[in-house]
Amino acid sequence: MTKRAYKERLYPTPEQAVLLAKSFGSARFVWNNTLAYRTEVYQQREESVSHSAAERRLVALKAEYPWLKDVSSVILQQTLRDQKAALDNFLNPKLKARYPRFKRKDRRQSIRLTKAAFRYRHGEITIAKSSELLPIRWSRPLPCAPSSITLSRDRAGRYFISCLCEFSPEALSVSPKTVGIDLGLTDLFITSRGEKSGNPRHLKRYEARLVYRQRRLAKKQKGSKNRAKATQQVARLHAKIADCRRDAIHKATRTLVNENQVLCVESLNITGMVKNRHLAKAISDAGWGEFVRQLEYKADWAGRQLVKVSQWLPSSKTCHHCSHRVDKLPLSQRHWHCDGCGHAIDRDINAARNIRTAGLAGLACGATGAGTAA
């Protein structure tokens, strides 16, 4: 058994929208107030505030700010639990997580409800303090009652519900195929079989529109209704771009996992790469991190093997026919001729083939699926 989130669009009634706005606001207030207190205590006395101390403090906060009682207390308690988890992640040197940040009103808002704060019956959900069913547009039925739900509103003003459910993944029947995957910029990915995905480059296509909208936004007067409207239009455009990108990645990773038993991919050091400003925009546009994340869980559920190959493998510079290695290969050079065997080499396909070879070699000498083979 494993847990999976099912995310759907939510269309709250006007009353529910008010309740949600209050809940988002209260959760944000509790998060920020507690985080500020924790930070202050640490700076003054170098002590950390325990979770139970934070919970006791919440009772005092509710007495001081009675409007916090308008929303389900489960939500506020959950906010504290989430903050504790964020702090635990920060203190875990392995995760390299950053210190939790203050939540802002103009960003995505979300609240998490555990079982005590919602009811699931006959495929319908009601939440505490609201008598009406949540109007959800289900794209598929849930496999079981969710253990928790997250309600959110994005910057474009759209509402979502994400339901966490237990489910048992079904392994796909074994495929004889193995593939090496090279992540690129012109193409999102290239396989060792020579398939090039093309890159949806949504940001590029929408960029003109975005630039235009952002320029219009900059001219609006602060605090005006027109500015709020223009902000919303920009946010909608961003949301649209993100949706298309995620969609394209979902389709691609699904096909790759369905077709191949073993998938070899380069392990990525995204944080390192994103520090390089030039590459940064292209990488976040291409969504490498999301691509590998999806491959990982889809492979896991399907009983496929994902092998991560060291990012230091000279996959582009080594000829996959004869292993001859060139010293220099500028990024702009997409094709080269191998001095060792005379083959004409396509840079990306060659890299994908080397990644496949290295991955399979790693498997043969006993590296695990998630491990690093070089």
Annotated catalytic residues are: 182, 266, 348
- Token look-up 């639990």 returns 81
265 lies in the site for Zn ion, by CB under 5 A? no
CB of 276 to Zn ion, least distance (A): 30
322 lies in the site for Zn ion, by CB under 5 A? yes
Alpha helices by DSSP H, the chain:
14-45, 51-64, 73-91, 202-219, 225-259, 270-274, 277-286, 288-302, 347-364
The answer to whether 198 and 188 have CB atoms below 8 angstroms apart is: yes
Q: Which of 230, 237, 265, 319 binds Zn ion (CB under 5 A)?
A: 319
DSSP state letter for 196: B
Q: Give the SS3 label for residue 143.
A: coil
Which of the stretches 175-183, 205-213, 312-320, 348-356 binds Zn ion when contact is defined by CB under 5 A? 312-320
Distance CA 139, CA 137 (A): 6
Which of the stretches 30-38, 42-50, 272-280, 333-341 binds Zn ion when contact is defined by CB under 5 A? 333-341
Cβ nearer to Zn ion, comparing 83 with 350: 350
Helix or strand (DSSP H, E) at 346: strand 344-346
**Structure tokens that stand for 337 in this block:** 């001729």
| Residue 339: C-alpha distances to residues 116, 318, 326, 345 (Å) | 69, 11, 8, 11
CB of 320 to Zn ion, least distance (A): 8
**Structure tokens that stand for 185 in this block:** 């910029």
Subset of 165-184 contacting Zn ion (CB under 5 A) = none
CB of 340 to Zn ion, least distance (A): 4
Cβ nearer to Zn ion, comparing 309 with 319: 319
Cβ nearer to Zn ion, comparing 298 with 347: 347
The answer to whether 148 and 6 have CB atoms below 8 angstroms apart is: no
The residues that bridge with 345 in the sheet, in sequence order, are 336
- Residue 351's nearest CA partner among 263, 266, 259 is 266
Q: How many positions of this chain bind Zn ion (CB under 5 A)?
A: 7
Q: Which of 324, 336, 346, 361 binds Zn ion (CB under 5 A)?
A: 324
329 lies in the site for Zn ion, by CB under 5 A? no
Which of the stretches 1-9, 91-99, 170-178, 337-345 binds Zn ion when contact is defined by CB under 5 A? 337-345
Which of the stretches 59-67, 132-140, 317-325, 358-366 binds Zn ion when contact is defined by CB under 5 A? 317-325
CB of 333 to Zn ion, least distance (A): 16
Distance CA 98, CA 241 (A): 27
Q: Which of 82, 321, 336, 367 binds Zn ion (CB under 5 A)?
A: 321
The answer to whether 297 and 363 have CB atoms below 8 angstroms apart is: no
Amino acid, res. 245: R
CB of 182 to Zn ion, least distance (A): 18
340 lies in the site for Zn ion, by CB under 5 A? yes
Cβ nearer to Zn ion, comparing 256 with 345: 345
Given the rule CB under 5 A, which residues bind Zn ion? 319, 321-322, 324, 338, 340-341
